[in-house]
Amino acid sequence: MFKQHHVAFATAIVTGVIGSTAVSADIAKFYKGKTITIAIPYGPGGTYDKYGSTFANHLGKHIPGSPNVIVQHRPGAGGAKAMNFTYNVAPKNGTFGMVPLDAAVVNQLLRPDRMRYDASKFQWLGSSNQTNSVMVVRSDTGVKKWQDLRKIQIIGAGSGKFNSGYMNPKLASALLGFKMQYISGYKGSSRSILAIEQGEAQMSSFNWLTWDSKVPHWFGGDRPFARAILQNGVDKDPALPNVPMLANLVKQSQKPLVAFIASMGPIGRGVTMPPGVPKARIAALRSAYDKMNADPAFEAELKKRRLRLIPSSGKKIQSIVNKALKASSPSVIKQVRKLIFGK
């Protein structure tokens, strides 16, 4: 009897190995000579672009068949155009993905009329960073701390109304009583930062890596060009221990509103595929993404670009997205929508 069970067990293992090998061979056959396109929801120069181009340099070698990987910039509507295109129009065979908005879940719930996708049906491969939104203000405005924004009028700049750079400062302004106007329509963080340098605006809000990788010289010395005033996220950014968190400044009844917007941070910078891609290819792509995150050459290039690596698996991001969608109450969504968009 023992011998029979032993033989059956060994046969099952061999069958599993053969099946796995066959699947891997099929994946390699499909991807050999193919090109995978990774869409970037903004123009060149920002952290979406920097992470995306680094993914393009390293992901392909970990995918069976070693396909070529390229990036394609699809800016517009604060990233909404790229999200909608990837979900509804892009090929669903594993040759097209994107660096998704960290605000993918929040956008879906706040603006369902404009965001034509279900974030839970995207097939998330993984993430390589987590993000806090950090409000930065020019020093010559006289703003040195967040309380000053209640007295000093400033103009904010950003790319659109569907990203963290718009929603975080608008929510903070509504909850804390800031005197702030906001101009959207700049194509990506680089254009917004240029607007601040040229005096068209005095404030913008991006993740700290954007600020630190693009304009680190702004923040040095006794008379810095600009200051980080306020941040929002699940936890404090380790690089900004003295910059206050929005959640610690609002009333207890308002904390769920802040937490809802902060939920976009863990999604960070990664890659997702549209619904409909065969499961075996998604499994291979997730495995490849994990291997890329563990590749010293990948981390070295991130460091060279002044980017950091905080890896998360595709299954973890999928779980975060699904939980965020289920946990967001209609009351919170309604309140946040009214505070940010006025309706």
pLDDT band of 234, cuts 50, 70, 90: confident
103 and 184, same structural domain? Answer: no
pTM reported for the whole predicted model: 0.79
pLDDT in tens, 238-270: 899 999 999 999 999 999 999 999 888 888 899
pLDDT tens figures, 10-32: 454 444 445 567 788 999 999 99
Helix (H, G, I), strand (E, B) or coil at 186: coil
For 91, the token pair is 């090929």
Question: Mean pLDDT, to the nearest integer, of 172-190?
Answer: 91
Instruction: Specify if 23 maps to a domain.
Output: no
Q: In the predicted model, what is the mean pLDDT of the chain?
A: 91
Summarised one tens digit per residue, pLDDT across range 280-316 is 999 999 999 999 999 999 999 999 998 999 899 999 9
Amino acid 6: pLDDT: 53
Residue 342 lies in a domain: no
Same domain for 146 and 125? Answer: no
Strand partners, 39: 72, 98
Residue 65, classified by CB atoms within 10 Å of its CB into exposed (0-12), middle (13-18) or buried (19+), is middle
What pLDDT does 12 receive? 44
Q: What is the CATH number of the domain that holds 176?
A: 3.40.190.10
Q: 96 has which bridge partners?
A: 37
Cα–Cα distances (Å) from 153 to 46, 141, 171, 246, in that order, read 27, 9, 16, 19
Last residue of a domain, one of 234, 263, 292: 263
The mean pLDDT value for 209-217 works out to 90
CATH code, domain with 78: 3.40.190.150
Report the domain count for the chain.
2
User: Which domain range does residue 126 map to?
Assistant: 32-130+265-336
Helix axes 2-31, 279-293, angle to 10 degrees: 80
Whole-angstrom Cα distance, residue 189 to residue 213? 11
* Predicted pLDDT of residue 10: 47
144 and 218 inside one domain: yes
At 312, give phi and psi (nearest 5°).
-140, 140
Same domain, 58 and 123: yes
| Residues 341/266, Cβ–Cβ less than 8 Å | no
Token pair listed for 149: 């924004």
Answer whether 160's CB lies under 8 Å from 75's CB.
no
Helix-helix angle 164-176:255-262, to 10 degrees: 170
Same domain, 259 and 270: no
Cα radius of gyration (the chain)? 22
Q: Are residues 140 and 258 in the same domain?
A: yes
Residues 269 and 259 in one domain: no
Tokens 């396109």 locate to 37
The residue type at 157: A
Degrees, nearest 5: CA angle 33-39-40:
140
Q: Output the pLDDT for position 62.
A: 98
Q: 126 phi and psi, to 5 degrees? A: 150, 180
